[in-house]
Amino acid sequence: MSLHHWITASRMATDWLGSVVSINCGLTLGVYQGEVSSVDHTSQTISLRQPYHNGVRCPLPEVTFSAIDIKELKFLDVHNTVNKPSTGQGAATESSSIPSARHGQSNRVALPHVTSGSSHSGTAPITILRRGRQMAPAGSSNSRGAPQAAQKKNSARNGGPARTRDDECFGGGTDENMDADFDFEGNLALFDKAAVFSQIDGTGGHGNRAQHHNAQGDQKPLSYRHDENILEAKPVIYRQITVPQQGGKEYYTDSGLVVPSIPYELHKRLLASAERWGLCLERRLETTGVCSSQMALTLLGGPNRLTPKNVHQRPTVVLLCGPHIQGAQGVSCGRHLANHGVEVILFLPNFVKMQEAVTGEVHLYARTGSKQVAGVKDLPTSPVDLVINCLDCHENPLLREQSWYQSAADWANQNRAPVLSIDPAVGGPHQPVEAKWSLSLGLPLPLAETESRVYLCDIGIPKLVFQEVGIRYRSPFGCKFVIPLHTP
């Protein structure tokens, strides 16, 4: 039976007053549920009191719909009124659906005419469909007392399986106006922050913190805040390294520890003592090469530059080395860089006599397949990614006056690439090669005041070896092998 015929049947329409219905007005207007309050035969309208729109309580007490706007009308529940006979309509308690007669009409949906009706203080027995399960407002007589058979049958007729257990657990609805704004300030004013912190502290104050006692008189441990240390804290000693001979300068780590410089004579005695205990030159060269190569890899970009997908942009490093121990340290660094995929070019001048340590490192470097040149003319003319300077020698400062040294220093200054100096020698204020970073070994030497950033490398000298030469030592490296040093 169409909606038009249903409304025109006066006797039947009046019998459905007080019933709970669901009206589908299409995608634009949505779905309304509520109790039928009136049916107008002349204007072909139906009114719902205390309506719900798409599962949300409407702020208006009554809404009126025109028959032309209704696509489908479902009966969710029947309210037994005094006008309804006790027999003949007993089967009407089941949910039913009446499609609207819209044949031959346009698809345009007009807005329903809303009338302002009187507000009712009582709660109507409205059953709404929300998120796939039926929910009844609080205080409804049908929320818990309805027979399970009728609820199961109503759910099956509405297009879903029986959910009686869900109705019992989640059936408590609410009549509160969901459109009202929540009063955050008023709710926050109900929280007494001072009283809560006073209860946490136990005594009402943050400074005085007494011990708690139970009924037996046993003492309970003190209560601590989240930012307090449970263990007794000792004062931090920032000067953990003391030397018998000051080098004239002091440096500081990132955590504030003092690292004093030492003169080259004390540094030489320290390395000789370490060699007597087994830290031979080969071990020192390998440790220096590993740590300096790690620093160089970081300066080259680290994981952002050296990836398997970036083989077409391999960084290029030029090593400027001399025929001495400092040069051997640079060759060791170049070997580790070549093993990590860096394109390395080694500059080492041809000499008839070369130290044995340099010869051994050069033979290992040659096994990497990297390039080695003996003249500055064979070095790249375009800027490279990094230049590592190992030209200086602590034992022979006169090397700076030789032509090969000066030509290599001039090439480094003109290449416009950043320079890393490994174990730089103590010299005058003017350095032949302007370095951006300087890496000292063990303890720093009193380097000249330049714009170079000083770093310190751990070469593995034990604590008692420092003590043997009169240095009270505690490692400032922490979890790292290379740390930056700062001047005051």
Domains in the chain with CATH codes = 3-170 (2.30.30.100), 250-484 (3.40.50.10260)
Strand boundaries in 161-312, DSSP class E = 250-252, 258-260
The angle, 0 to 180 degrees and rounded to 10, between the axes of the packed helices 264-276 and 281-299 is: 120
Specify the amino acid at residue 73: L
Tens digits of residue pLDDT in 35-76: 888 888 788 888 888 898 888 888 888 988 888 888 888 888
Percent of the chain at pLDDT above 70? 70
For residue 399 the two structure tokens come to 């090397």
pLDDT surpasses 60 at 19: yes
pLDDT at 472: 95
Q: What are the helix (H) ranges across 45-203?
A: 148-157, 164-170, 184-189, 193-201
- Mean pLDDT lowest among 208-217, 242-251, 323-332: 208-217
Burial class (CB in 10 A: 0-12, 13-18, 19+), 111: exposed
**Helix or strand run (H / E) with residue 456:** strand 453-457
SS3 16: coil
Mean pLDDT of all residues in 86-103: 41
Residue of higher predicted confidence among 368 and 171:
368
Residue 429 CB coordination number (10 Å): 7
Mean pLDDT of all residues in 423-447: 88
CA gap 363, 168 in Å, rounded? 85
pLDDT-derived band at 303, boundaries 50, 70, 90: confident
pLDDT surpasses 80 at 217: no
CA gap 32, 427 in Å, rounded? 91
Burial class (CB in 10 A: 0-12, 13-18, 19+), 88: exposed
Which residue has 């329903």 as its token pair?
A: 112
pLDDT-derived band at 476, boundaries 50, 70, 90: very high
> Residues 320, 326, 329, CA angle at the centre, nearest 5°?
85
Determine contact, residues 429/447, Cβ cutoff 8 Å: no
pLDDT at 184: 83
Q: Which is nearest to 438 in space by CA: 380, 383, 379, 486?
A: 486
For residue 345 the two structure tokens come to 């070019």
pLDDT surpasses 70 at 198: yes
Tens digits of residue pLDDT in 98-151: 444 343 333 333 333 333 333 333 333 333 333 333 333 433 434 344 444 444
For residue 12 the two structure tokens come to 């039947």
Instruction: From residue 457, give the alpha-carbon distance in Å to each of 188, 282, 287, 406.
Output: 55, 16, 9, 28
Residue of higher predicted confidence among 226 and 150:
226
pLDDT surpasses 90 at 304: no
